[in-house]
Amino acid sequence: MRKEKRRRRKSGLLRLLLFLLALAAVLLAGWYYIVGRLYGEINFQAAEGYADQPWKSEGAVNILLIGNDSRENGGDGRSDAMILMTISDKTKTVYMTSLLRDIYVEIPGHDGNRLNAAYSFGGPELLMETVEQNFDIDVNRYVQVNFEAFAALVDAVGGVDLELSGPEIEYVNAYLVEYNMLTERPEGTDYMDTAAAGRVHLNGPQALAYSRNRYIGTDFGRTERQRKVLSEIMKKLPSALLSNSGSVFGGLLPNLTTNLTKNECFGLSFQAGKLLTYNLVQGSIPLEGSYQDADVRGMAVLQIDFDKNKEYLQECIYGK
C-alpha cells in the first residue's frame, strides 16, 4: 500500500514537473517571438571584423553607444557622443564611461587624430577598433543612435527632471534654434524661461539641446550632461515600458543601428531584472589629472596618460 502511494506521489510529481517544463518552454518561445518582432524594427549593420567575436568576455559585456549627429538614420555624421556601456558580472556594476572625442589616439590605417575622427573615417567598426587598440579592452558590439531617437526616448519616458543653471537654459534655447529649423517646427518651439533656473522638467528636444552643450565646462561638461540624461532615462524606463511601451519602442527602435544579433538581444533581455540590482557608476576618460591640452598639426587635442586610464578601465570592467 505504501509503495503504491509512493508510486502515485512520484507519478504526480513527474506530471507536475513535465507541465512546468512545458509551460516554461511555451513562455520562453513566446518571449523569443516578442524580442524577435521588436528586433525586426532595429537596423542591423554588421561590423565584419567582429562578426565572429564573442559579445561577452571575462564576465563583462562592453557595448559602445555612439550618438551620431546625423538627423537621418544611417546618414553621415560625426560621433557626437561615445559612451562605453559595461555590464560587469564580476563587479555587479553597470558602468557608463564617456570617451571624450578630442583624445589624441592612433587610428589603425590612418595618422594619429582625435578619437571621433575614427568614426568619420570608418564608421562604428573603425571606432571600436581604435578604442580597443588604444585602451586594451574588448569592444565588439555597438549601438548607434541618432538625434531623433534620443529626443523620442526622452519623450516616451515622460521627460526628465534635472538641475539647470541660467546659462545652461540659455544654451538649451540656442541649440533649439537649429533643431527647430531641421525638424521644421515653428521658431521658438520649446524655448525655456531663462529665469527658471533650478530643478526643471525637460522634454525630448530640450534634453537633446541640453546634452549637446559643450560651451559650459568644455567637452567634460557636455559628456557629464549626456550621462545625467541617460541615467534619468534608465530610472524611468521600467515603468515607461509598462505604461507606454508603444512610444518607447516606436520612437527608439527604428532609429537604432547595431551589430548585436537577435540572440544577443534576447540574452540581454533576460538580464534586465538582474541589472536593476547592479550599481550604476558614471565616469569619463581621460581621468582627472591624466591629460594635458596640446596642439597637434593645428588640432586642439587631449594628450592623455594611457597607462593610467587603461588601469582604471581594467579595474572597472574586469575587476583586476
Task: Name the residue type at position 285.
Answer: I
- Least Cα distance to 81 among 213, 200, 257 occurs for 213
Window from 106-110, 207-211, 279-283 with minimum mean pLDDT: 279-283
Span of 69-73, 101-105, 233-237, 307-311 with lowest mean pLDDT: 69-73
For 186, the grid coordinates are: 515653428
Length, in residues, of the chain:
320
Quote the CA–CA distance of 48 and 223 in Å, as a whole number: 29
Short-list 160, 149, 132, CA closest to 66: 149
Range of lowest pLDDT (25-29, 46-50, 111-115, 179-183): 25-29
Q: Cis omega (within 30 of 0) on the bond before 254? A: no
Weakest mean pLDDT among 11-20, 169-178, 218-227: 11-20
pLDDT at 12: 62
Please give the backbone phi and psi of residue 206, each rounded to the nearest 5 degrees, phi first.
-70, -40
pLDDT of residue 167: 93
Query: Predicted confidence band at 73 (pLDDT cuts at 50, 70, 90)?
Result: very low
Task: Tell me which residue of 42, 50, 48 sits closest to 139, measured CA to CA.
Answer: 50
Mean residue pLDDT across the chain: 83
Query: What's residue 16's pLDDT?
Result: 62
The pLDDT confidence band at residue 121, using thresholds 50, 70 and 90, is very high
Contacts of 30 (CB under 8 A, 6+ apart): none
Which residues is 99 bridged to in the sheet?
285
Please choose, from the candidates 145, 141, 121, the residue with its C-alpha nearest in 3D space to the C-alpha of residue 51: 141
Confidence (pTM): 0.80
Which is nearest to 138 in space by CA: 317, 320, 306?
A: 317
> E strands along the chain, which residues?
43-44, 56-57, 60-68, 79-88, 93-99, 104-105, 113-114, 141-145, 160-164, 198-202, 256-258, 279-285, 291-296, 299-304
- Crossing angle for the helix pair 218-243 and 245-252, nearest 10 degrees? 130
Cell of 116: 571621433
Spatial separation of the C-alpha atoms in residues 259 and 43, rounded to whole Å: 9
* Residue 106 near residue 291, CB atoms below 8 Å: no
C-alpha to C-alpha distance for 44 and 261, rounded to whole angstroms: 8
